[in-house]
Amino acid sequence: MSANDVIAEDMVVSIHYTLTLDDGNAVDSSRGREPLLYLHGAQNIVPGLEKELAGKKAGESFDVAVSPEEGYGPRMEGVEQKVPKDVMPDELEIEVGMPLSAHGPDGQTMTVWVTEVEDEHVLIDPNHPLAGKTLNFAIEVVEMRAASAEELEHGHPHGPGGHQH
């Protein structure tokens, strides 16, 4: 790879990011830890951010506001469900904000989030906690390299910062 390379399909890219919501609240950042590693073109990251990263070079920094439609999707209303605690595994320490695996109406696996914990029940919501929000990213492209055949097959990066398996 040379200094003139730009981000394109089938490259493993590492970025530093800070994610801020419109209320000014910084909800997530890679600063102070290892950069995030992702496989470009494999939908490892939200579509609006992946689109903006295409064509960028190592060392470049930029800001982008990603709409909910190109982020975690619009927020669906009235889809929260009350679930009795006794159907949850005993060993599970349930907390607000925790993602859980559930089975959807057609038996497919889906992720839901705990939004409220009561004495006998928990409220679960299939909306991602960032659904319906504009995502303001501050990005720095750290480096990039060609993906290996195995990474392309798996659809994610391997090695430090990637999947270890």
**Site residues (vs Zn ion, CB under 5 A):** 154, 163
- Measured from each CB, the residue nearest to Zn ion is 154
Nearer to Zn ion, 87 or 149 (CB): 149
Four-residue CA torsion sign, 8, 18, 109, 159: positive
Let me know: does 86 contact 71? Beta carbons within 8 Å: no
Angle at 69 between CA 68 and CA 75, to 5 degrees: 60
**Residue 110 Cβ, how far from Zn ion at the closest point, in Å?**
22
Nearer to Zn ion among residue 82 and residue 163 (C-beta): 163
Residue among 98 and 152 whose Cβ is closer to Zn ion: 152
* CB of 158 vs Zn ion, minimal distance in Å: 6
Closest contact distance (angstroms) between CB of 11 and Zn ion is 16
Pairing outcome for strands 109-117 and 36-39: unpaired
Judge whether 56 and 127 are in contact, CB under 8 Å.
Answer: no
